[in-house]
Chains A and B, each alone.
Chain A
Amino acid sequence: DAKTTQPNSMESNEEEPVHLPCNHSTISGTDYIHWYRQLPSQGPEYVIHGLTSNVNNRMASLAIAEDRKSSTLILHRATLRDAAVYYCILREGGNFGNEKLTFGTGTRLTIIP
């Protein structure tokens, strides 16, 4: 399975942008890059996903490197509610692809008021 590598923890000041990196050097051509976040005492929540092009939604932006070996989740203006563990995973694009996905330990984001 393609693996991802993320920093264990990051800190950011409130109302400033946050860039959360993820390395996935063994990504295959059909893998989608997914990001999830987990707030304290809650289940993981889908944030965003992409294949090759940068993506934007109401929660965040996803910047994908041209060689697709890394990506960055961008929170444009962090709030205290964004304090969570953020997971980056790869999911095969084809129907009934390899679904043996395990989330790593992710990046614990702390927002400083």
Chain B
Amino acid sequence: NAGVTQTPKFQVLKTGQSMTLQCAQDMNHEYMSWYRQDPGMGLRLIHYSVGAGITDQGEVPNGYNVSRSTTEDFPLRLLSAAPSQTSVYFCASSYVTGSNGYTFGSGTRLTVV
């Protein structure tokens, strides 16, 4: 089925560990992005990309790295996990024009202990 696929769905990390959250879409969308959602809060933009080889920072980029080598994939890397990065992470994709809506993945629930 066409859509945005996020893996893993759940992850527990120890402080200082690194990991990569995966995001893939099969809709040929140019735009992809990562959001985090903390309890009772809205979604805050971490990083986004408008095409392969192009990335930019969002509202809360510190502690996260991204790269976009293909149209389909947009992984989010945590280099040294901290408890403050405990959150639910959502990936979204879209065509770049404002007349198109975002498609979101089902999320990755990350706990850093």
Number of interface residues of A (CB under 8 A): 28
Complex contact A102–B59 (CB within 8 A): yes
Check A99/B42 contact, CB under 8 A, given A36-B102, A43-B90: no
Number of interface residues of B (CB under 8 A): 27
- Which of A32, A44, A100 is within 8 Å of B98, CB to CB? A32
- Which of A46, A92, A105 is within 8 Å of B42, CB to CB? A105
Interface string of B9-35 (1 = CB under 8 A from A): 000000000000000000000010101
CB of B58 within 8 Å of the partner chain: yes
Check A99/B43 contact, CB under 8 A, given A30-B98, A46-B103: no
Complex contact A42–B106 (CB within 8 A): yes
Closest Cβ neighbor of B101 among chain A residues: A46
Complex contact A95–B104 (CB within 8 A): no
| A-B pair number, CB within 8 angstroms | 70
Shortest Cβ gap from B47 to chain A (Å): 10
Q: Which of A73-101 contact B (CB under 8 A)?
A: 87, 91-97, 99-101
Assembly CA distance A65 to B35 (angstroms): 30
The interface residues of chain A lying within 8 Å CB-to-CB of B104 are 43-45
CB of A60 within 8 Å of the partner chain: no
Shortest Cβ gap from B91 to chain A (Å): 9
Complex contact B101–A105 (CB within 8 A): no
The interface residues of chain B lying within 8 Å CB-to-CB of A7 are none
Using a CB–CB cutoff of 8 Å, the interface residues on chain A facing chain B are 30-32, 34, 36, 42-46, 49, 51, 87, 91-97, 99-106
For the complex with contacts A43-B90, A99-B48, A106-B42, 16 further pairs of A-B residues with Cβ separation under 8 Å are A30-B98, A32-B99, A43-B107, A44-B92, A45-B104, A46-B102, A49-B101, A51-B99, A91-B98, A93-B99, A94-B98, A99-B56, A101-B45, A102-B43, A102-B44, A105-B42
